[in-house]
Structure 1
């Protein structure tokens, strides 16, 4: 059983550089396994998803970008505020071609500049529409929607669209749209997953973001610890390494077995690196303690030394499945 039964919208955020786009892609593949159809959307215009799956640039047209194990499919979408505005004006004001005519005179830039919250409404509105779209038979088109959202520093404001439009409209289509989006984002059908590394700044931002989301009553999902490295020292070795008292004869024997030449200076450098590694392990332990106070499901994804390519994304998806994310 997945930890997220009943969730239709998975929002993925994290401090810049922690790998939230990679995690978004892996989560989409995990959720699409066994015949499911998943939409993976990005809103920052960086084309990170296209790069991860080695496909052409994404646009406002939903298209299949990957197959999942068991016959599932992942569709990709780049949500653009301009295209979302055209669609919005067509749906709610029946403007049709006139919507694009307005764009030629700079209407979209003008509207989103004087009312910055409108941009977030447009971007989240397209996501909202994707989660509720149904086939003629009444089934959902997508089993789940994954949103590669803005970083943690902006995500709460981005998702709290009701506050964004409070100064724009208290009645009319904009208000009704924002109210509908807000209901979804504050319901059990949504989960905001926070990606972090075991480092001070990403962990602090993760903690702050979970707190902010809780204050706005937006459901928090999992904390996903990315790029986890295996420790090279056990408990006793860590203590000795910090004290620069590792068994040098054992180190020499290991170097000789590997046919690696060594000098006293080499041993000193290795001892210093071991001490640094032990200190980092202590910091990572402290970071896990801080994350555990959030009382959210926590998943670990390993550091992949060969980098991230489509094969690596599938590997991470399988690891997420094994831990209950899908």
Structure 2
């Protein structure tokens, strides 16, 4: 089990819908940007999750700074759009210029980005590939330092991540030769290198954990490097193990609880006391379930990091709190 990702510059974050994937991707970007680093945080699903998380105006297709860190680091946001990426691609490889605008006017761009989903994914990841190769001087080769120290990609959910990252096989039947075929091959080389890791966000619930385990297996079969499992929205037990045992068995001492409530100024009624005991039993069962799910995740052999549930919602301050938790646990060095 390794947590040494010093060679990784591209961190792909996936997870079942509702697990807080975008929030975790943002927190990882902030953590990576500590110590003065420049990080690109990109999304490909058009949901404007980055702008909502950092409370900034909606992102366009241009790279835009969304936050700075206390150590002088910078997070740049990008919402990759398939149509814009295709227009840029056509200009880069075919110098279409105004002809590309004409294709868009007649709906050819929409057709190309919807009828051929494999090509669409190549275009989306291709934009990330280009950003990763770009140097500070704007060129893609030379001695100039990289434009970004790290890139975090808020990727599609676990149900689609394997296919999304299998760009080479996806376009094999559509483009056996030519620039698209060549670019797909270059992207595959990047994705399968030790410079790329895929992190999976989950909750300690049965369905997200099942999807996580399946995604780990699928990604490994495809030759991709799975990095960490990040358990989000973790709630600590309210009772110690002895009290949990009693609550689970329905053996909590009613007179003692009644006395403590009365001393706290609470008017105790039989219904209130029975309701609290039921809540305690349900809490014990939930803790049992979460521990079972954590044990299943541990069987993958991957490093696991836990982020706390934040009851007041997510804003830039909470994102930094989660970033600090990732640093403290050693995910980011």
Q: Same fold, TM exceeding 0.5? A: yes
Question: 1:55: Cα distance to partner?
Answer: 0.2
What corresponds to 1:184 in structure 2?
190
SS in 2 for 1:102: helix
> Is the aligned partner of 1:28 residue 2:55?
no
Task: Extract structure 1 runs of 4+ deviating beyond 6 A.
Answer: none
Q: Take 1:294 and 1:100, find their aligned partners in 2: how far apart are those partners?
A: 49
Question: 1:122: Cα distance to partner?
Answer: 0.5
Q: Take 1:318 and 1:24, find their aligned partners in 2: how far apart are those partners?
A: 13
What corresponds to 1:268 in structure 2?
274
CA contact (8 A) 1:30 1:318 kept: yes
Question: 1:317: Cα distance to partner?
Answer: 0.5
What corresponds to 1:157 in structure 2?
163
> Is the aligned partner of 1:122 residue 2:123?
yes
What corresponds to 1:292 in structure 2?
298
Q: How does 1:192-271 map to 2 (within 5 A)?
A: 192-271=198-277
Question: 1:99: Cα distance to partner?
Answer: 1.6
CA contact (8 A) 2:11 2:196 kept: yes
> Is the aligned partner of 1:316 residue 2:322?
yes
Question: 1:250: Cα distance to partner?
Answer: 2.6
Question: 1:228: Cα distance to partner?
Answer: 0.2
What corresponds to 2:51 in structure 1?
50
Q: Take 2:256 and 2:133, find their aligned partners in 1: how far apart are those partners?
A: 62
CA contact (8 A) 2:7 2:194 kept: yes
1:108-136 deviation line (CA, Å, top 9, x unaligned): 12112332211100001001111111123
- 5+ residue gaps in structure 1? none
Question: 1:52: Cα distance to partner?
Answer: 0.8
1:290-323 deviation line (CA, Å, top 9, x unaligned): 0001111110000011111111001000001111
1:162-189 deviation line (CA, Å, top 9, x unaligned): 1110111111100110000000101100
CA contact (8 A) 2:213 2:300 kept: yes
CA contact (8 A) 1:11 1:146 kept: yes
Q: Take 1:250 and 1:264, find their aligned partners in 2: how far apart are those partners?
A: 14
Q: Take 1:185 and 1:286, find their aligned partners in 2: how far apart are those partners?
A: 32
Question: 1:2: Cα distance to partner?
Answer: 6.8
TM-score calculated relative to the size of structure 1 = 0.98
What corresponds to 2:140 in structure 1?
none
Q: Take 2:264 and 2:149, find their aligned partners in 1: how far apart are those partners?
A: 52
CA contact (8 A) 1:13 1:194 kept: yes
1:2-36 deviation line (CA, Å, top 9, x unaligned): 73211010000000000000000000000000100
What corresponds to 2:178 in structure 1?
172
SS in 2 for 1:34: helix
CA contact (8 A) 1:3 1:324 kept: no
Moved more, 130-139 or 309-318: 130-139
Q: Take 1:251 and 1:100, find their aligned partners in 2: how far apart are those partners?
A: 73
Q: Take 1:268 and 1:2, find their aligned partners in 2: how far apart are those partners?
A: 47
What corresponds to 1:302 in structure 2?
308
- 5+ residue gaps in structure 2? 138-142
Q: Take 1:154 and 1:257, find their aligned partners in 2: how far apart are those partners?
A: 55
Question: 1:98: Cα distance to partner?
Answer: 2.0
Q: Take 1:80 and 1:245, find their aligned partners in 2: how far apart are those partners?
A: 58
CA contact (8 A) 1:25 1:40 kept: yes
Equivalenced residues, count: 326
> Is the aligned partner of 1:132 residue 2:139?
no
> Is the aligned partner of 1:103 residue 2:109?
no
SS in 2 for 1:206: helix
